[in-house]
């Protein structure tokens, strides 16, 4: 990956809806070479996909929680089952395996406290879950930023 590829990636992160011609103009390439580079970045998996950034509050998801989860044991089957369940829970917008006192850190969105309580009750029914600790986000300072290239 060279300097032009990095410039293309920066432009796509800034605004993925701009045309190839607009990107080419901004990075100093003609349209065809720029399009080839974008296709290669996609086929190499560097560009994994395109998505829109939605406003959580305007969608009624007023609350964000960070949930630390510890499992009862660390065998493959309970881990796989837990991760499969997390993948199917729309409230969980990110899930990370972490080091330290807990096994997972989940970012969870909810409309309100009753919605979050309903989510937690589902989580508590999972037999592989040992412990749950929740932190409520008071205010978001930074989120969804571009990756440093």
For 59-73, what is each residue's pLDDT tens digit? 999 999 999 999 999
Task: Order the strands of the 129-136 sheet from edge to edge.
Answer: 92-97, 104-110, 63-71, 129-136
**Which sign, positive or negative, has the C-alpha torsion 112, 116, 117, 122?**
positive
C-alpha span between 87 and 2 (Å, rounded):
35
Q: Is 104 left (phi over 0), alpha (psi -120 to 50) or beta?
A: beta
Structural domains of the chain, ranges and CATH numbers in brackets: 3-43 (1.10.10.10), 57-136 (3.30.70.920)
| pTM score, whole prediction | 0.87
For 3-27, what is each residue's pLDDT tens digit? 999 999 999 999 999 999 999 999 9
For 117-127, what is each residue's pLDDT tens digit? 999 999 999 99
């Amino acid at each position: 990956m060279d300097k032009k590829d990095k410039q293309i990636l920066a432009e796509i992160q800034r605004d993925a809806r701009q045309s190839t011609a607009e990107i080419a103009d901004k990075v100093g390439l003609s349209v065809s070479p720029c399009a080839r580079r974008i296709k290669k970045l996609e086929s190499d998996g560097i560009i994994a996909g395109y998505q829109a950034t939605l406003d959580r509050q305007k969608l009624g998801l007023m609350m964000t929680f960070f949930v630390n989860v510890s499992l009862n044991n660390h065998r493959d089957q309970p881990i796989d089952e837990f991760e499969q369940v997390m993948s199917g829970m729309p409230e969980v917008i990110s899930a990370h395996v972490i080091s330290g006192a807990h096994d997972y850190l989940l970012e969870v969105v909810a409309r309100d406290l009753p919605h979050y309580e309903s989510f937690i009750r589902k989580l508590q029914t999972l037999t592989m879950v040992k412990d749950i600790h929740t932190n409520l986000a008071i205010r978001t300072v930074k989120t969804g930023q571009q990756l440093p290239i």
